[in-house]
A and B are shown apart, each in its own frame.
Chain A
Amino acid sequence: MVVGGSVFLALVLVAVAAPIIAHTDLYLMRPQDALSPPSQQHWFGTDEFGRDLLTRVVHGARLSLSVGLVAVAIACGIGVGTGLVSGYYGGLLDLGLMRLVDLMLAFPGILLALAIVAILGPGLTNAMIAVGITGIPSYARVIRGAVLQAKAFLYVEAARAVGVPAPVILIRHLLPNVAAPIIVLSTLNMAAAILTAASLSFLGLGAQPPQPEWGALLNAGRNWLQRAWWLTTFPGLAIMVTVLAINTLGDGLRDVLDPRLRR
């Protein structure tokens, strides 16, 4: 599982780090070639403006992956911080923070992201932020649980007895021990983030034209479903393969890291 996942992820990384593959200019329109099927010249075909689809999909990889990274960074940063503080200090702070987290969970899936985009306005950056915020509750809850468990260990009490200030305990002692769930959660979160961001772009609320984000590409391709099947097939395939790869990796990681946790 892990092997399969890492192979895939490597593939994905390559696709990103080398839009050098894209020999054609991203925005070059060649109306005479518009809507041509996959050929030697255009491996993925062209869109209604004659733009090479392969180029756009490859550049879209960059967009989607950066969305995933930023969203996970936001969710992880705020979520882990919340979980750490909540679990360690307990009491009213814990109660209050967890109530906030529960409140966020009362808004299912994409609804929260939609609400945030409604507040901030459409756009890829705002979509990133929205998806990031949506991911916070999972981290907060999981990390809080892990901290509650880890808190009982003797080394924490020892550190406190010696007079180590609380933030240092949190970062230097507790954090490394909750690293395993963070890693697993982050991979799975990234996959979900890419999917959600693509959905937002598909609805027209994320990436705006002419950004070649995969969801946006799919949305544009929808209009030509009958005449140009390649416009919907390839971006969608890209999304699925990427998300599948990351999910596989995450699943494999979970299998590897979890049993070790239970010890």
Chain B
Amino acid sequence: MTANRTVVEEPRFTVRNPPRTPFRRKRFLLPFGISAGVALAGAIALFAGGVVTLPAQGITVVRGMLASKRDFFEDAEVKRVLMAHGFQVDLTPVGSREIADKDDLDSYDFVFPSGQATADRVRDRRKGKHLVSKKPFFSPLVLGTYREYADALLTAGVIKPQGGDPALYYNLDVPAFVKLMDGTLTAGPDEEYWKHYPPLRNGNRIVAQTSDPCRTYSGSTWLALVAFAANGNETPHDESAALAVARRIKPLFDIEGQHGDDLAQQFFAPEGRTFAPIVAIYEHQFLANQFRALEGAGRPDTEHVLLYPEAQHETVPEFLSFTDAGDRLGRLVEGNQALRERAVRLGFHVFGAGGTYADSELAAELTARGLPTPRSGVGDTETWLPDLPLLERMVTEVGGCR
């Protein structure tokens, strides 16, 4: 089916932008817009086959499959800029690691997995076919937690504040954290339970909650990080070593049992303390929340804090396009100044300007908003991600992926 990308007249879609007054939206614009949308769907059906030529003001519907980076494309301002450049992006949300396995992979204009390991698998599947890669921005994997949980970890001696009062960012000693989770950090009893650290009353074992390592990049990356730490800060170099480490860390992942989805959404919800007290998320999700807090309440959110693993791994999402329209969208996302600025406002590190982390555009934005700049550790440590087949082996062993 080729109707996934077609040409329609622009103004009819403006109703998708943020609403004006509820009265106008409800009583007129929305039914009108829906009607228009349905009518246009009819037109799309008629034009299936893609024989239409583009009027200058026409918009292109681009279909993409992506995971956490949909935060970018779902942003109202990003949508507006894209629309102004003639793009409407239809998103299909999936876990990053599922992207490469989807039967209908080839039917999309682009995919945007959250990290290289998955991008490489997509590249394998698209061998001999059109594929253009862009890396517009990146964001490291971190742990998000609540202040009183950070205080517990501080007491346990596995994190150190980066500074500031109250501190928003901490460095996480992952090997110590792994020992804390398995109860061997000290000889003390019950240290692996949150309730060991008053005033917490949570009787659960200490673990970082992750999304499913079988399905998501963040889950598998955290798994690799734990494996690296459990292996004496070394990547396993062969299959038997990888399996041995995987078996050692599997009990730590079994504590959580079933993994949740949309951990960032749960973490920032008012019930986050209950359901997602400490989660593996991306830095951009945290910083976007801080910017929202500044715009809303006028002050930073000091309840949520970030833990940066001391041994880090750059998680660089790759925008992989399979069609001409996808290529054009990729170039726009990478090069357009308004979109780059918006990406920064959404908490991403953008590539291309500034160079090192400390003087990046994101750091400038944080400083301008009165927020401290975290030291992410990115670039400080050697790559610790094992070879892709070994990582797959470990993820499958730990996650029991089917």
Chain A complexes with chain B: no
